[in-house]
Structure 1
């Protein structure tokens, strides 16, 4: 797909890379499936970078608008699954 990931230009290069990894994990959950633990690790790192709910919502809404993939639904599915499970979104 051709779209840009939402980023904050005040983040460090490492933070930008980690946020992109989180958005890629959402894509993977929709396209092929992803191990729950791998997804949750990416989400926890994302939350270290974006601790505020308002900024998280803005970034994730922008990502969903561009990609069609819901961060909220992927996180919800991951939280409802067990360690070792694979999450695959429909």
Structure 2
């Protein structure tokens, strides 16, 4: 299940903590791996940042992060945090 939880395009809406819990519950029920694409996660406009799906379920979420949208677009730097069963299959 692919999701952009923070500042999703084109609406700019971020999923609430409760909505994130619901997504994880459905993914668990359907035995789905969640891919959390969070290129805007470093852009916290006000208040405390919302928890990442990865922090809420580290064993079933692949987290994608990037500096390309927030810090240095020309660098094209990104990263993947994933469970070992996914990491072992990644080709970099």
TM class, shorter-chain normalised?
0.3 to 0.5
Q: Which has the higher contact order (CA 8 A, sep 6+)?
A: 1
Larger helix share, 1 or 2: 1
| TM score, norm. by length of structure 2 | 0.32
